[in-house]
């Protein structure tokens, strides 16, 4: 999965197709993401002390990750992403259309300078 919290994504299918928004959270186990302003539903609430008015609250629900594509700032549109190693050994995401890097996936490996002592 190349989508992380804080990324800008484009919805590629569904009611909100074409919308560009920011990812609020990602649930990797379920394969879903909570995207700002996308997949909004109404939750009906009774009158209570917390909600004295009652009525319908609009909230976002998670959307399947397969329905999202990462938005490339340099291309200006949604694109497929890949992973590649950089010269320093770290791993980064990149746009497959233009080749621009779009964030680090893992830091460079730490070199083992101290030898392990035998027990």
CATH (domain of 66): 2.30.30.30
**pLDDT for residue 77:** 87
* Residue 28 domain boundaries: 8-106
First to last CA, the chain: 40
CA dihedral over 50, 55, 57, 63, signed as positive or negative: positive
**pLDDT for residue 96:** 87
Tally of domains in the chain:
1
Q: What is the pTM of this model?
A: 0.75
Cα separation, 68 vs 102, whole angstroms: 16
Q: What is the mean pLDDT of residues 23-32?
A: 95
Q: What is the mean pLDDT of residues 38-51?
A: 92
- Asked, for residue 112, whether it belongs to a domain, the answer is no
């Amino acid at each position: 999965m190349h989508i992380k919290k804080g990324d800008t994504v484009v919805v590629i299918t569904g009611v909100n197709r074409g919308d560009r928004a920011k990812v609020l959270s990602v649930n990797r186990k379920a394969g879903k993401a909570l995207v700002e302003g996308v997949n909004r539903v109404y939750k009906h609430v009774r009158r209570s002390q917390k909600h004295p008015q009652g009525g319908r609250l609009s909230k976002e629900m998670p959307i399947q990750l397969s329905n999202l594509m990462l938005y490339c700032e340099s291309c200006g549109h949604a694109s497929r992403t890949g992973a590649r190693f950089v010269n320093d050994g770290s791993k980064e995401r990149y746009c497959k259309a233009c080749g621009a890097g779009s964030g680090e996936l893992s830091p460079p490996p730490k070199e083992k300078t101290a030898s392990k002592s035998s027990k």
